[in-house]
């Protein structure tokens, strides 16, 4: 069992990243939100889960140990393999999944590409009481960085990262662009007041916060939150 990797990020692509540890480059499959926090040339710590198959050894990486633990637990449900479990964590945070399962919110779970209503009902039935209550693992920083760094929609790189994540999850380019535009508009509206905290979605999962640091450094976009907000836009379309 490889519990985590701690090394230099050699490359990042929409479907995974290569992290060099001890001179060996290891390919790690990650959610778009996790990939968005990785920077080529910088060091990172990624919690990992090794999935063994007859024809492949696949390493999956996560921003925090809690995500990794939920990923492994999700696969104990009938019909949920590593790819579907990863897609679920691309759409929901671990705590959001706990809330959906606890509330038996089948509709919310069907937002994940590949999960129909019957599949969602089965997941709720089999995982009820096993994921724990929301907040059980506490908030953990992503890859050794601050847990929250949302910023203004003017930081264009987040658009490319969110678009790549949506395409990787199976959405069409036009749909992805429309969702991103809608999220950007929400963030712009939420940041109408100086230094105000804003939400880019109805439940406040994605948003922008003014950076009050004395040095005036600009805030960074929380790409994972933006991705979740875009997925909600698509699910309502």
Q: What pTM did the predictor assign?
A: 0.61
- Please give the mean pLDDT across all residues of the chain: 77
3-state secondary structure 163-224: HHHHHHCCCCHHHHHHHHHHHHHHHHHHCCCCCCCEECCCCCCCEECCCCCCCCCCCCCCHH
CB-count exposure of residue 61 (10 Å: 0-12, 13-18, 19+)? buried
> How high is the pLDDT of residue 192?
64
- The DSSP secondary structure of 52-95, one letter per residue, reads EETTEEEEEEESSHHHHHHHHHHTTSTT--HHHHHHHHHHS-HH
> How high is the pLDDT of residue 107?
93
Higher pLDDT, 97 or 132: 97
pLDDT in tens, 196-234: 343 444 344 444 444 433 333 334 567 778 888 888 888
In degrees and rounded to multiples of 5, residue 236 shows phi and psi of: -90, -10
pLDDT in tens, 167-196: 767 777 778 888 888 888 888 777 764 333
Higher pLDDT, 139 or 18: 18
CB atoms within 10 A of CB 190: 20
Q: How far apart (Å, rounded) are the C-alpha atoms in residues 55 and 62?
A: 23
pLDDT surpassing 70 at residue 147: no
> How high is the pLDDT of residue 58?
92
């Amino acid at each position: 069992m490889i519990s985590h990797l701690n090394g230099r990020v050699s490359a990042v692509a929409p479907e995974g990243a290569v992290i060099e540890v001890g001179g060996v480059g290891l390919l790690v499959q990650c959610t778009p939100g996790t990939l968005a926090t990785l920077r080529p040339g910088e060091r990172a710590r990624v919690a990992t889960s090794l999935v063994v198959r007859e024809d492949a050894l696949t390493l999956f990486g996560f921003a925090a140990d809690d995500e990794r633990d939920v990923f492994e637990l999700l696969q104990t449900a009938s019909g949920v393999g590593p790819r579907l479990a990863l897609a679920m964590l691309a759409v929901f945070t671990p705590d959001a999944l706990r809330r959906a399962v606890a509330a038996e919110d089948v509709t919310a779970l069907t937002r994940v590409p590949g999960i129909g209503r019957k599949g969602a009902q089965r997941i709720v039935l089999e995982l009820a009481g096993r994921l724990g209550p929301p907040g059980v693992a506490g908030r953990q920083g992503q890859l050794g960085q601050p847990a929250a760094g949302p910023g203004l929609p003017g930081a264009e790189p987040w658009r490319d990262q969110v678009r790549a994540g949506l395409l990787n999850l199976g959405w069409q380019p036009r749909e992805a662009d429309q969702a991103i535009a809608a999220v950007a508009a929400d963030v712009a509206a939420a940041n109408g007041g100086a230094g105000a905290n804003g939400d880019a979605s109805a439940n406040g999962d994605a948003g922008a916060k003014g950076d009050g640091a004395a040095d005036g450094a600009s805030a960074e976009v929380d790409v994972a939150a933006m991705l979740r907000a875009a997925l909600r836009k698509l699910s309502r379309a």
